[in-house]
Structure 1
């Protein structure tokens, strides 16, 4: 036990690679596509990498690609007895509205803002969700979990845009820099510690795919 330190350790994992990732289409909070064989393999490898971590809780997006990834990860874990597993809508990906499933046009201004200047991103014309909404709902969830498990290890399995904006927001970056360091690789692991006394989040590991033995070509 960590004694009186009161540190919650969050293990943030992006879902495995999917068919829509491969075809470079918008895959937001209202659409899903199956994990590719490489995505499944990487999720299993992530699970083996984390197999000795005794998680108190796993919080998982209610989208199939995240749930499947989490299942492969948890299946490898040695300490599953007594783990609380929750599926949460608040961890679903940013909703792209009418752009869900559409091919990503890199010349589009809003797409550029989404990637590089999230403070300027305005999805109104295609009925998408705002970055503020995404970060608010995911942050609320993380804060509540931290309060419940002040000394816990928590697995979070979610999505690329959600995780990079959430992590950057939690560590105090300005909104213009919420996509810095992204995009996160599929099944990458980022570890943040939250000091419950000071409410400060510290990055211990970021976008880690060092455990992957298969490359993207496999």
Structure 2
């Protein structure tokens, strides 16, 4: 059985400013985002991972570094970087303030089956889930009895997780948004198509308030 630990990156400046932060833009971790990552690392410090798979965006890679600095089982650990784990691309909307009254923004959050980013050159939900799922399936096959740590992004993770556990496309955003550095654990038995959820959006380990 492969056990996946999915972790969203720490809070960033663009998160704080409520701006679109997709696959073609980056923003530094805030001090609270760094602290969140350190606390997540301490929480996972006694968990031995067979591989760590990280998005190639800086906010995810920085989060991974803070988490792994706290881990007690780094000797021989393999860290992989995957473009396929980058956040969904928002096209011309990258970096602009989120308009919650916009129809496509509402679809993205509530009805991803209706989301159509054509007018602003964004990436489709199907593309996002397809590319990320391929990576997860390969990791499940390569590490059939392993612990796999995934560090990526909010929209990618919630849609991927809901897809992996078998929800229909209209419900791929249920339970979102995931909290920054939240931990969701899924299990996959013998590389089966369906995954089982063991823990969802866990931030019980966090002791830092948003105002800190």
TM-score when normalising by structure 1: 0.96
Within 1, Cα distance between the matches of 2:176 and 2:159? Answer: 9
Pairwise CA distance, 1:82: 1.1
1:47 matched residue in structure 2:
41
1:106-134: CA deviations, max 9, x gaps? 00000000000000000000000000000
Number of residue pairs aligned between Structure 1 and Structure 2: 212
Which residue, 3, 6, 10 being the options, matches 1:9? 3
1:69-106: CA deviations, max 9, x gaps? 00000010000111110110000000000000000000
1:194 matched residue in structure 2:
188
Within 1, Cα distance between the matches of 2:210 and 2:196? Answer: 30
1:203 matched residue in structure 2:
197
Pairwise CA distance, 1:197: 5.5
Within 2, Cα distance between the matches of 1:196 and 1:121? Answer: 33
Which residue, 143, 149, 162 being the options, matches 1:149? 143
CA RMSD, 1 decimal: 0.7
Pairwise CA distance, 1:54: 0.4
Q: Secondary structure at the match of 1:59?
A: strand
1:3 matched residue in structure 2:
none
- Which 10-residue stretch deviates more, 40-49 or 198-207? 198-207
Unaligned runs of 5+ residues in structure 2 are: none
TM-score when normalising by structure 2: 0.99
2:161 matched residue in structure 1:
167
1:74 matched residue in structure 2:
68
Unaligned runs of 5+ residues in structure 1 are: 1-6
Task: Tell whether the 8 Å contact from 2:187 to 2:197 is kept in structure 1 after alignment.
Answer: yes
Within 2, Cα distance between the matches of 1:43 and 1:214? Answer: 11
Q: Secondary structure at the match of 1:192?
A: strand
2:80 matched residue in structure 1:
86
> Which runs of at least 4 in structure 1 moved beyond 2 Å after TM superposition?
197-200
Pairwise CA distance, 1:146: 0.5
Task: Tell whether the 8 Å contact from 2:144 to 2:191 is kept in structure 1 after alignment.
Answer: no
Pairwise CA distance, 1:144: 0.3
Cα distance change, pair 197–160 in 1 and its aligned pair in 2 (3 A): closer
Q: Secondary structure at the match of 1:200?
A: coil
Q: Does 1:136 align with 2:130?
A: yes
Task: Tell whether the 8 Å contact from 2:164 to 2:193 is kept in structure 1 after alignment.
Answer: no
